[in-house]
């Protein structure tokens, strides 16, 4: 038999997989989108601020108010310390760090319009080695990037400040980029928020999956798996011959209805089981097969108690029934032991059928065993009664004989009648067999010489044999 794979495991697996995949994908999708939105918004804001600053600086510088731009940077830094705004010259040195630009402008204007600074800036920052800065200048376009520094994460924009035609009067026409605005924002809090979002999403996912798994598993176990297992247990106990168990499912659903159906089925089976004690197995087989009649080769054994009527007249009815049942029971046991089937009891008579391999041999063996047991009893159990047995074999008609209300499975035909006649002809303790039987068992039993008897229903004398003993 193939190994049984419990459905519990499969159901649990399906529940966990469905929840994990379903909820997992949903949470991953929403968390990812939320984080992307957060990041995109932050970047978008910075770009927008960079554009605004670019315009402000451009306008502030045009009338020669460069210091205003520096002041603007300082004000913004004060408002938002996470921001860093700086202006660099096109070659990477921090702007307003010395008098170079003022000198160039004064030279281009051919007058000392702007006063030189008395002292240049200290700790001047130089980013000329930064490749992204170089790219921004070379390509004359905005470069944005993220970078980490001292455990903090920064989003930085390099935005080139173009030397527009209107600026050339002061700054000259020999260069395209006047400088680069660097706007850097500490986005560590944003990233922290992303991480927290992910952690919370993960935690919610685990908790929700766990709770739903427990709830769904319990629900399935309570409503489906346990009732089905219970029904299975009842079925197994019925298979083992125990009809006392019943399915007990309080659910008013399909499973509950199934339980009730199983209970009704068990009750029906119990009734049939009880009935089968009173019905031959060939009858049951016939009912199963819904036989309406068939021809078959079988051996028929008739056994009858001699002088039973006279015997019964001198005994109380209870003892008569007890003695009769005792005699019929031991015969039945022997017949069953030899693979035969008691077709019916007719008063003190037993009609037994043998089919299949060695049916004739098994019938004869049963007959001898019955006679031997009766002889061995010596009047103790069977009150000194004796049996006469007749056996014949041949093609008979099997079928349910009777009406719709009351029918018996039995055999009919000439061979049946002949077996009955042989039984009638047998003296107490004798087993008479037909020539058909003889031909099949002559090597395995000691038989007395053939006799010829005249029986009712047959015109001619019939050749018969008396079974003595087994020779094996």
The tokens for 39 are 């990041």
Tokens 């065993």 — which residue? Answer: 369
Q: Which element (helix H / strand E) includes 351?
A: strand 349-354
* Kind of pairing between the strands at 177-186 and 83-89: antiparallel
Q: Are 186 and 82 in contact (CB under 8 A)?
A: yes
CB neighbourhood size of 299 (10 A): 31
Residue 164 CB, nearest approach to another protein (Å): 6
* Kind of pairing between the strands at 294-306 and 349-354: antiparallel
Nearer residue to another protein within complex by CB, 23 or 167: 167
Residue 66 CB, nearest approach to another protein (Å): 18
**Contact set with another protein (CB under 8 A):** 54, 140-142, 162-169, 173-176
Tokens 């997989």 — which residue? Answer: 17
* Kind of pairing between the strands at 445-453 and 386-402: unpaired
Nearer residue to another protein within complex by CB, 61 or 385: 61
Residue 177 CB, nearest approach to another protein (Å): 8
* Kind of pairing between the strands at 341-346 and 349-354: antiparallel
Q: Are 417 and 457 in contact (CB under 8 A)?
A: yes
How are the residues of the chain apportioned to helix, strand and coil, as percentages rounded to the nearest 5? 50, 25, 25
Q: At residue 181, what are phi and psi to the nearest 5 degrees?
A: -90, 130
Point out which residues pair with 345 in neighbouring strands: 350
- Tell me which DSSP letter residue 297 carries: E
Nearer residue to another protein within complex by CB, 112 or 176: 176
Tokens 């063996």 — which residue? Answer: 365
C-alpha 213/C-alpha 12 separation (Å) is: 8
C-alpha 121/C-alpha 290 separation (Å) is: 114
Nearer residue to another protein within complex by CB, 175 or 272: 175
The tokens for 239 are 């298979």
Residue 174 CB, nearest approach to another protein (Å): 6
Nearer residue to another protein within complex by CB, 12 or 168: 168
Nearer residue to another protein within complex by CB, 162 or 407: 162
The tokens for 351 are 């009609």
Residue 38 CB, nearest approach to another protein (Å): 25
Nearer residue to another protein within complex by CB, 172 or 256: 172
Nearer residue to another protein within complex by CB, 21 or 164: 164
Q: Are 192 and 179 in contact (CB under 8 A)?
A: no
Residue 36 CB, nearest approach to another protein (Å): 22
Q: Are 388 and 304 in contact (CB under 8 A)?
A: yes
Point out which residues pair with 397 in neighbouring strands: 295, 412
Residue 143 CB, nearest approach to another protein (Å): 11
Nearer residue to another protein within complex by CB, 144 or 284: 144
Residue 156 CB, nearest approach to another protein (Å): 17
Residue 61 CB, nearest approach to another protein (Å): 14
Tokens 């006799």 — which residue? Answer: 451
Nearer residue to another protein within complex by CB, 107 or 140: 140
Residue 168 CB, nearest approach to another protein (Å): 6
């Amino acid at each position: 038999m193939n190994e049984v794979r419990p459905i519990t495991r499969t159901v649990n697996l399906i529940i966990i997989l469905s929840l994990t995949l379903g909820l997992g994908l949903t949470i991953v999708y929403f968390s990812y989108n939320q984080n992307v939105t957060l990041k995109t918004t932050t970047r978008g804001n910075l770009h927008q601020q960079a554009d605004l600053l670019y315009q402000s600086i451009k306008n502030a510088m045009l009338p020669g108010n460069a210091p205003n731009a520096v002041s603007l940077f300082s004000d913004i830094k004060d408002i938002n310390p996470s921001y860093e705004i700086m202006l660099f010259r096109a070659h990477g040195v921090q702007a307003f760090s010395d008098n170079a630009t003022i000198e160039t402008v004064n030279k281009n204007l051919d007058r000392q319009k702007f006063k030189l600074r008395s002292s240049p800036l200290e700790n001047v920052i130089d980013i000329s080695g930064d490749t992204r800065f170089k790219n921004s200048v070379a390509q004359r376009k905005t470069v944005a990037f993220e970078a980490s520094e001292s455990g903090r994460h920064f989003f930085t924009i390099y935005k080139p400040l173009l030397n527009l035609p209107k600026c050339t009067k002061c700054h000259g026409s020999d260069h395209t980029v006047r400088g680069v605005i660097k706007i850097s924002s500490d986005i560590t809090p944003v990233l922290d928020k992303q991480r927290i979002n992910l952690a919370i999403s993960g935690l919610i996912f685990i908790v929700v999956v766990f709770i739903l798994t427990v709830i769904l598993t319990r629900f399935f176990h309570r409503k489906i798996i346990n009732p089905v297992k219970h029904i299975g247990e009842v079925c197994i106990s019925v298979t083992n011959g125990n009809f006392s168990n019943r399915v007990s499912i309080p659910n008013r659903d399909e499973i509950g209805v199934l339980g009730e159906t199983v209970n009704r089925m068990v009750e029906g089976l119990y009734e049939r089981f009880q009935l089968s004690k009173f019905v031959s197995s060939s009858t049951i087989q016939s009912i199963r097969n819904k036989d309406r009649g068939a021809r078959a080769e079988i051996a028929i054994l008739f056994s009858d108690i001699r002088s039973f009527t006279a015997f019964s007249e001198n005994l109380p009815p209870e003892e008569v029934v007890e003695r009769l049942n005792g005699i019929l029971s031991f015969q039945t046991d022997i017949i069953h032991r030899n693979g035969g089937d008691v077709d019916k009891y007719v008063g003190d008579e037993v009609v037994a059928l043998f089919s299949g391999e060695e049916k004739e041999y098994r019938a004869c063996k049963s007959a001898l065993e019955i006679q031997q047991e009766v002889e061995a009893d010596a009047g103790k159990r069977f009150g000194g009664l004796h049996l006469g047995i007749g056996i014949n074999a041949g093609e008979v008609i099997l079928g349910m004989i009777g009406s719709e209300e009351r029918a018996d499975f039995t055999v009919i035909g000439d061979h049946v009648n002949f077996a009955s006649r042989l039984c009638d002809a047998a003296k107490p303790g004798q087993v008479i067999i037909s020539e058909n039987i003889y031909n099949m068992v002559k090597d395995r039993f000691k038989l007395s010489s053939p006799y010829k008897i005249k029986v009712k229903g047959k015109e001619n004398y019939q050749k018969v044999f008396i079974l003595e003993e087994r020779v094996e």
